[in-house]
Structures are given as C-alpha cells and as structure tokens.
Structure 1
Amino acid sequence: MKNILVLGGTGAMGAHLVKILAGRGDKVTVTTRSPRSPSPSIEYIQGNAKETSFLDPLLERRWDTIVDFMVYTTSAFEQRAPKFLEATDQYIFLSSARVYADSSEAISEESPRLLDSSSDEKFLATDEYSLAKARQENFLRHSGSKNWTIIRPYITYSEQRLQLGVLEKEGWLYRALRGRTIVFSEDIAFKLTTLTYGLDVAGAMAELIGEKRALGEAYHIAQREAVSWQDVLDIYLAVLEKHLGKRPKVMLLNLDDFSRCKNAEYQIKYDRLFNRVFDSSKVGELVDVKEFSSLERRLGRCLEEFLEKPVFLPIDWRSEAIKDRFSGEVTGLKEIGHWKQKLKYLIYRFLKY
C-alpha cells in the first residue's frame, strides 16, 4: 500500500485516478477547494493547494508519491518544486502535450517543443500555458534530482468535459441545447486531433506510479487514433439529433471571425491549427494503449450521460453575443441572469464589434 498525495485531484483525470488508486489498496489524500465526503481509502482535505500556509504542513509529511494536477506560473512552480521533490519518492508532474511544436510526423517524447524551436519573440516573452509547462519541465530536469516523472496528457474528455476545438461545452453545447447555432472555426474543423478518455489517461498514470523506470522520464499519454475536429463534431451532432429530435445547426467561420468569438490566440495558433498525431510507443512499453476506449463509442456515451443531468459552468456572455451576431440569433435576456451580464450581452450583440 502506497501513501499518495493528489493535489487538485477532482477533474477529468484526477477523479478517475483517485478511484483507481484507492481501489487497488493505496491510501489517497486529495486536496480540494470544495467539501467532499471521505471514504475508507480516500481522505479529502479542503483548502487551496496554491497557498503556502495550506501546502507546507502537508509537505512536512513523507509521501510515497505526490501527483500534482495544479497549474502554476513558472515563478510559483520554482518556489514549490524543491519542496515537492524533498517530500516524496516520486513526484508526478502534470505537464501537457501542448508543449510540442508543429510536426509533420507522429510526435514522440523527443519531438521539438515550442519553447526550444519557436522564433515568435512576442509569444516567447509570455508565460503562456505551453511555455510555462515546458519551463517547469526544464526546472525539474535541472533540479539535480531524478525522483520525478513528467506526464504530458493531451486533450482529455469525460462525462463533464466535452471540448470542441478551443470551446468547452459551455461555448458550444449550451447553445445547441438552447436551440441556437453551434459556431465553430472552419480552419480548425479539418485539423487532426487526438482525444483520450480521462479514465484511460488515469489508468496509465496509475501504472507509472511506483515504476522505477519512469523516474527522470517524460511520457505523453494519448489515444493512438487521430481524427479531425469535424469528426468530433459529427459524433456530438449524432447524439444531439437523437436527444433533441433534430440536428443542431452549425456555422463554420473563418479564423479571423472565429477569433472574435473566442479569445485564445496562442492556443489556436500554436496548437489547434496543428495536426496532432502521437507516437505512444514509449508509454506503450509500460501500458497497453491498444486498450484505450474507442473515441466514437466513448465520447458519444459521455455526452449521453451528461445530457441525463446537464450542469454548466458560468457562460461567457460576451462570446455568446458575438456568436449570436454572426448567426443572426438573439438570446432572451431572462436567460442571462445578472444585469451586468445582460448589459455586456447587449453591447456586444448590437453595438460593439
């Protein structure tokens, strides 16, 4: 039995990982911002794992493994990482496959990263997600320790996370269920991508925990099957047509117009406009990636389960107003809620472009 600390382990991957670890007999402690009921093998500690006053007492204990799902600025990570490495035999750092540069071949763990190959000085001057993760990887590599393992998941989905390009479900599915047009990018729609079920990623991570061969190594964990975003959209539309009794309308915008709807400049430019195909042979030496879920079957099932009891995070009404502007639709103000959000919607729908 291992004593494992999971920081922020309640998302699409973390929730599955915690159950897998507890199910195999490990003692799991999970930090969470919201209160949760414990189980015999899972202890939830409520607090903000980014706050030193909360984190430091946890790191005074010795852990067999620390799994870190938190997102940090590079400066914050450099302050915390030495404490993590000192407090455990294996520190699992959740990086991202977004660190990789564009590639005409299947991406391996040794493929060039954006941080090392980009010539965009404006981009490199930022601590954008893909750059921050790469810099934090570098910090671990230069730490003088080898008790770390870098995990680079790509896009994961679950019963609560259903992405379409750079849009979360709140940016496309909410519209479809309200009878409005799904607004997407024609430039992104036909790029190849890779989506992996969160449970499959969590299962692979669990196999790497306690694995000595994984120390000092980086692994991406991604489905071998690459599809276009249009294929992903078609899976969603088939489920929605059955659920709604009619197929939702779709509008594909050019990139400039779509970028007005969604402010994600670097994520679009340096990821979603790349064809993302992965060579999973490295992690395949330790995990049977051939057993990962079929995208068409599992993604459709995740959407079906979400539709049984749909719960959405807050809606970006600026973005919705602009989408309505392109589609020629209008959202009723009763749907929007707070008067500030109503005002924002009206400004961007009818006045500001």
Structure 2
Amino acid sequence: MNIIKKVIVKNYSKVNAMKNVLLVGGTGAIGQYLSPFLVKEGFTVYITSRSERKSNDKNVIYLQGNGKDLAWLEKLSADYKFISIVDFMMYSSDEFKERYEKLLTLSKQYFFLSSYRALADETAYITEESPRKLDVLDKYPEFSADTYGIRKAEEEELLHNASTQNWTILRPSMTFSRGRFQFGASDNNDVLRTTRGGGIILSDQMINQSTTLVYGKDVALMISKLVDNQRAIGQVFNVVTSESHTWQEVSDIYHKVFGLKLKTVLPNQDYVALTKLEGAMIDRVLSRKFDNSKLLDVTGLKESDFHSLADGLTEAWHETDFERFFMARRNWEYEAKVDFLTDTRQNLDRVSLRSKIIYFDTLAKLGKVDDFYVRESNGYWQASQLDNHLKLHRTKKDSSGPDNRWISLKIGDSIRLKKGFNYLLSLSISSTIETEFTPFFHVRTGSIQSLDRQKINKDDKNQLKINFKANSDDFTDLAFTATDFIESGDLIIESISIDPE
C-alpha cells in the first residue's frame, strides 16, 4: 500500500496563482502530448523550444530560448506567474545541484522528471517506496555502472532535502511515442532495422524478464492530473500503467505492429559488447512490474483510461512521419554486425555510397579467421568476431531437432583441396566446455568427408593437428555439428590452417 505523506507548502493557493503552466523543453516523447491535456484542464501552456515554432492553439504559446538559461527562466516566471513548471531538461549532477533551489522558487509546483531507472531490482511489484539503486550500492556495486539511474536518484535526493518541498517527482518507465519506439537497450534502432528488413537481437538475460513500456500520451494524461493537485505536492509518482510483459512477449507484440523479427538471442556479455550500452543493460535485465495504485488514487484515473501496449504502439506508428523515420541516421558498421548475427540483409535503398561501403566492408571482415568465414548463424550456433579471433557460441537449443545443426566455415579462395592429396588441418581452439567432436568437410550440395574425432579440454588452448587425405576436389566448407556439443558453451577459434604434406 502506498502512503501519501502530508507535506505543508507555504503560500500554495489556487486562488492567488494564474492558470499558466510552463513546459521546459516540452517537445519530446511526453511533452508533445501534454499541452492538449493541460488546455483541456483549463490551463494556458507555455513551451520553451530552441527553435522557432508556431502554435495553432491560442492557449499554447511557444517561447524560443534555452531552457537551461536560468536568468531567462526567472524573467519568464516573473512575467507569467506560472502555477506549475514541468521540467523535461537533462541536467548533469553539477548543473542540477547549482540550480534546483532556484527552480523551486519559479512556480507553485515544480515537476522533476526522474526515471524508473533510479529504482533497484524488485521481484515483486515496484512501488514509490521501493529501494533505489543509490540506496543499495553496498549490496549491489554493479548498479554503479548505470550512471543515468544513479544520477537521477541523486537529483531526487537533493529535492527531498531542499529548503522548500513544492516539488513533484515523476518516474516514467520506458516511454514510446510517435517517431520513437524503444526496444531492447536502445531507442529506435530495432524498429528502424525492421523497416529495412533487418533481424533483431536480444540478450539471454532479458528475454524472460518483465518490463513495462508506456505510451507517452498516457504518461502525459497522468501528469496533467497531477498539475495543480495539492495531493501531488512533495510526492513521488511512478507514472506508469500496470501492464507488464516479458521481453519475449514484447517482441511478439512488436512483430504484430511493426513486423519485427527476433532472430538471435545472444549471451548478455556479447549483447552488451555489441551495443555498447552497459548502463542501460544494467537496468534492462531487472524485473520491471509496477503497482500504480498511488497514482490512480491521487489522479482519479482508472487503468481503462490508458492504451494497451499493442494499441498505443499502433496509434503512435500510424502518426509517425515515415519518411523522416526511414531516413534517420544509422551506424552502418553496427548494422552490418547485427545483420551478420541474424543472417539478414537490410534494404539499402537511398543509403549513401559511403555508408554502403562501410556496411559491406564490415560484412566482409565478420566471421573470418585466417582464410575461413562463417557462412551463417542459426538456432544452434551464434558467431561473433573478437578482434582476429572467431567466437562460436553453442546455444541451449536441443540438438535433436530436424533442422540444420551445422556451423559451417567457408574455406577461403586461397585454399584449394585436391582429391587424393594429403593435408594437415591445424586448429587452435579455446573452449568453455569439454567434449569430443568430429570436424568434417562438405560441399554445399551434399558431399561430406568426416575427419578423425577430436577431444577439446575446458579452459585450455587446444592445439589440434589432423592429418587427412582429401576425397574430393569440391569441398567448400569446414563444419561442426551441434550434436557433438550437448552443453551450451563457447569455442574461441584463434587460428585455422590447411597445409599440404
């Protein structure tokens, strides 16, 4: 049960305050929806914006300027006597520490946008009283890597200890809106990939974890009911719905709305290394199910007032500027790596020549060790490049299935086997599992030559020397089968060579 703490704020009076509200930086994922709700509640809404904007509503006024310019905000406050300020600006710890006391003086009610990422792990439902990452760093030092979540909690703490308590702290969860669709560790990237035919990856530590994604329009509705609300003063609110899903379920919903195809589940360490989003991933692997009863009680809203995830995504997608979305800037080196891992190729229509060169050059380097290249990943195997080494990850998929269980390395053009000639195959392999396996050559059309069975030891650098006489001129691939690797684990191939004897 969430308890509303009684906070006494001097000079709080609806009678003496004008019905003016200021949105500082209010043109983003939540702010774009907030002004219509506030106008409906009877407020006049002022919105700061770096660029010049025009309004079609006499009750919505854009003010061009820098929302971090405190002197400018003080002048606006003196001119318009704001009853509430909703602050969407992002501050460094030092910036907020220098200005938070002044910000509290500019209106009757100051809204601070914190984040659900300030919160620590909870196996049960999260409430406003749940511990924050900052509160449990001694027990979970790894949380310090989520610098964003820690910073938000530190800024919350400044407000809790401020000389006046006329603040309301808001903690949105992952929020989507027209033109912005979060999935996995990033914002738009995976839906952008989907529009060009690319496959999607996720971390194995995320796939069965619960998360809460909320439509920005619903968050705006929640905030509008907290503005000029005496019961919201000095209070913290998780501005979320009670709808939660596992990431697997989210991917299924995204498939129905966007056509998104989850193709590959990577070990978490590989996913983090590839996306380079360590801070976000500290949070994404935590359970995120919320109890929003405090919010509903204070606002008078009901769960039925909000969109379901599927309905919200569909509406936001239909309102998106597809041309602008499709042409958004991309990291084409990263895109090539994910295409390699998912065995997909994106549509490069209207992509610059320079970006295409980066994309194809990256693909050419991936899956290569010496003169061998990985053909493709599949449900049994995932391949990734580690500097000059090749990592083959045997997944947990049961190898008794009827589909292809091989991981094939294409033999480079510099190597040509001749039928009847003797060769030495040399392999340098490190492994996280101990097993025996039978390497084999094959032609994509079907002919196979099995080599002598080999044993690899766990955590050793195994130097394998295999003599064989080629029984065909046509071999194109060296391969392993998942049936030899019952346990899930990693093979790091540092070198391969085939030399005539």
- Residue matched to 2:104: 85
Is the contact between residue 199 and residue 343 of structure 2 (CA under 8 Å) also seen in structure 1? Answer: no
Are the structure 2 counterparts of residues 188 and 310 from structure 1 closer, same or farther at C-alpha, using a change threshold of 3 Å? farther
Residue-by-residue CA offset, 1:257-290 (whole Å, 9 max, x unaligned): 2223311112112x11011111111112123241
The residue number in structure 1 matching 2:298 is: 286
CA distance in 2, matches of 1:284, 1:144: 29
For structure 2, the 5+ residue unaligned runs are 1-17, 366-384, 387-501
TM-score with structure 1 setting the length: 0.88
1:287-330, CA deviations, whole angstroms, 9 ceiling, x for partnerless residues? 32412212222223333443865625422333213212323455
Give the counterpart of 2:92 among 67, 70, 73: 73
In our comparison, the structure showing a higher alpha carbon Rg is 2
Match of 1:244 in 2: none
RMSD after superposition: 2.5
What are the superposed Cα offsets for residues 24-78 of structure 1, whole Å, 9 maximum, x if unpaired?
3311110112321123011111222124464443344432111001111111011
1:317 aligns with one of 332, 354, 359: 332
How far apart are the structure 2 equivalents of 1:326 and 1:152?
35
Name structure 1 gaps, 5 residues minimum.
242-246
Are the equivalent residues in 2 in contact too, given 1:73–1:127 (CA < 8 A)?
Answer: no
Is contact 1:235-1:300 (8 Å) kept? no
**Higher share of residues assigned strand:** 2
Tell me which of 210, 213, 226 is aligned to 2:244. Answer: 226
Offset at 1:337? Answer: 2.8
Distance 1:261 1:281 in 2: 38
What is residue 270 of structure 2 aligned with on the other side?
257
- Give the direction of change, closer, same or farther, for the CA distance of 1:240–1:91 in structure 2 (3 Å limit): closer
Q: Secondary structure at the match of 1:306?
A: coil
**Greater Cα offset, 99-108 or 317-326:** 317-326
The whole-number CA distance in structure 2 between the counterparts of 1:192 and 1:230 is 9
| Percent identity between the two aligned chains | 34
CA distance in 2, matches of 1:122, 1:235: 31
Deviation at 1:95, TM superposition (A): 0.7
Residue deviations 1:228-257, cap 9 Å, x none?
A: 11212111212344xxxxx74622222122
Q: Which moved more, 1:171-180 or 1:203-212?
A: 171-180
Contact 1:321–1:346 (Cα < 8 Å) also in 2: yes
- 1:136 aligned to 155, 164, 168, which one? 155
Work out the CA distance in 1 between the residues paired with 2:148 and 2:53: 29
Structure-2-length-normalised TM-score: 0.63
3-state SS, counterpart of residue 265 of structure 2 = strand
- Residues 297, 333 of structure 1: CA spacing in aligned structure 2 closer, same or farther, 3 A cutoff? closer
Q: State the partner residue of 1:181.
A: 199
**1:116 is the counterpart of 2:135:** yes
Q: Which residue of 1 aligns with 2:284?
A: 272
Runs of 4+ deviating beyond 6 Å: none
1:164-200 per-residue CA deviation (whole Å, 9 max, x = no partner) reads 121222x112222212222233321221111112111
The structure-2 alpha-carbon separation of the partners of 1:127 and 1:55, relative to structure 1 and needing over 3 Å to count, comes to farther
Partner deviation per Cα, 1:89-127 (whole Å, 9 max, x = no partner): 100111111111001111111110000102355754x78
CA separation of 1:240 and 1:146: change in aligned 2, threshold 3 A? closer
Go from structure 1 to structure 2 and tell me whether the alpha carbon gap of 1:89 and 1:235 turns closer, same or farther (over 3 Å shift).
same
CA separation of 1:332/1:237 partners in 2, compared to 1, >3 Å: closer, same or farther?
A: closer
For residues 1-353 of structure 1, the aligned pairs below 5 Å read: 2-38=19-55, 39-52=57-70, 54-61=72-79, 62-119=81-138, 121=141, 124=144, 128-169=147-188, 171-241=189-259, 248=261, 250-269=263-282, 271-287=283-299, 288-291=301-304, 292-306=306-320, 311-312=325-326, 313-329=328-344, 335-337=350-352, 339=354, 345=359, 348-351=362-365, 353=386
